[in-house]
Amino acid sequence: MENITKDASPKSVNSEQPYRTGYHFQPLKNWMNDPNGPMYYKGVYHFFYQRNPDGATFGHEKMVWGHSVSKDLINWTHLNDAIEPSCIGDSKSCFSGSATILPGEKPLMLYTGIDGKGHQVQNLAMPKNLSDPYLREWEKHPQNPLMTAPSGVEENEFRDPSTAWQGKDGKWRVIIGAQKGDQGKAILYKSEDFVNWIVDPNPFYATDGTGVCECPEFFPVYINSTNGVDTTMENSSVRHVLKISYYRRHLDFYFIGKYASDSDQEKFIPDAKYTETYKDLRFDYGLYYASKSFFDYATNRRILWGWVEEHDSKQDSIDKGWAGLQTIPRKIWLDKSGKQLIQWPIEELEKLRDKQISITGETLLSGSILEVKGVTASQADVEVLFELPDLQSAELLEPSEVDPQILSAEQYASRKGMIGPFGLQVLASKDITEKTTISFRIYRVVDKYICLMISDPSRSSLRQGLTKPIYATVFDIDPNIKTISLRTLIDRSIIESFGDGGRACITSRVYPLLAIEKDAHLYVFNDGNQSVVISQLNAWIMKQAEFATES
């Protein structure tokens, strides 16, 4: 690529911008939210994202699609905006959507626009030059908008078309998030030519009492492989996943189930219904929303991104000059149990690992804390494997008590446990007045064992006026496996933690006042009555990812 310059922006990571990340994706400036249309095309990864070109807060009147490209999903070059308001179907804003690559390697974008009446409508954009691997220029279909809100859908709650897939009849299908009253819906459309779309009168999926379904995603996953699979595949070797971002809760949920494509009413039938309890499946149990995935056919992976918003104030964003991050891209696949998805940071991230610190076979007695020295703790990748004591000593819980929000509340958290809490204290000040704690705690419930995983930023900063919620989830423990793993990505103001090999993920945003740059520390701790052993800990200083601009 010609005329590439590295980011020399004053908004780079420095003492004046302690919360700007070193290796997570973010534009040079201004507001960013939903990931849109990620794809692999002619040897290049493309990432589009909703952004405000005019400021560091959400722009109601002129949202556009930013566009960046990469060879490895870690180091990025920012291009000019790809899709901007310019036609009847998006005169007020260009909102979220998805990429579909048609046979013959022809990428298309379906996206939501806000028309002159303030209604949400669906539009189509195409690359001007398919021979350009960077797809710098996009043009809009002359028939835009292609879809307007059908009967039974509110005109202001009709958005975020998914990646399309081709059915056995050759027709293309896409789902769009919608609402009618209190019912959230994913609406199915079909088309023979990707331009003329006909709505299915029956909802593809619906939930009562939830409000609008945002950013729906629908894709297959292999039953017996960690490889990803193209969105169109439909046979006995796959199951299907439907993801919904429920706007009222501002959380992403996913469902595993059956795609009933041959029935009179084409729809998705989940294994378990939405319950609005801790039992619902989520990609991430922390600060994470509006996720988008794509099938990377170059490596046979399904890769997932999620938007992570700020938890400081609107004025803080204005002062910083930017707002919003994307998580590290994650590979996702179906767990062997078939009951949930597994997520893990893509392996390309490991290219940024620099100096390594290791600890092996260290016993953490009750009440002990051990500093991991020699690592730049403000920007690190930490993997630790804990050896557990005899699980028979775990505290007994009643089934009614098995709720992560209950177990992370003060009345439970203040009790000293038998096995745990143990884990990491990250972005901690030397005197530990500031710290974010990622911990495990083991319980016994009737005839099984569960693990409570917590990311607790409640003491992450001495700054006032910050939102610092405690995030938690629970998962079953196999009593025959005597270890549990934790991987935590630390990057100045974001902490992504992956428990038990990616079975549980929690993301937090923090804004320390003291634990910045070289004054950030990393500790391993055990506050439980029983000793735990650090079987193996590896911590790496993480180098800066490269962010360049095309001039």
Q: Are strands 30-41 and 322-323 parallel, antiparallel or unpaired?
A: parallel
CA–CA gap between residue 39 and residue 124 (Å, rounded): 16
CA dist., res. 412 & res. 427, Å (int)? 24
DSSP-derived 3-state class of residue 54: coil
Q: Which two tokens stand for residue 464?
A: 């006032």
Identify whether 201 is preceded by a cis peptide bond (ω within 30 of 0): no
- DSSP summary character for residue 374: T
Burial 425-456 (b: 16+ CB within 10 A, else e): bbbbbeeeebbbbbbbbbbbbeeebbbbbbbb
d(CA 192, CA 282): 34
Alpha carbon 393 to chain centroid distance?
36
- Tell me how far apart the alpha carbons of residues 252 and 290 are, in angstroms, rounded to a whole number: 7
What's the angle, vertex CA 408, arms to CA 404 and CA 412, rounded to 5?
115
> Tokens for 184?
């959230």
> CA separation (Å) from 110 to 30, 74, 291, 295, 420?
24, 25, 16, 17, 48
Nearest CA among 11, 13, 5 for reference residue 493: 13
Q: Residue 129 is encoded by which pair of tokens?
A: 């030059």
**Out of 34, 296, 381, 403, which one is annotated catalytic?**
34
- Sort 277 into a burial class: Cβ within 10 Å, 0-12 / 13-18 / 19+: exposed
Name the phi and psi angles at 9, rounded to 5.
-65, 145
Residue pair 311/287 in contact by the 8 Å Cβ criterion:
yes
C-beta separation of 244 from 290 below 8 A: no
User: Whole-angstrom Cα distance, residue 63 to residue 258?
Assistant: 36
Give me the residue label for tokens 């790809």: 82
Residues 239/270, Cβ–Cβ less than 8 Å = no
* 34 included as an active-site residue: yes
List active site positions: 34
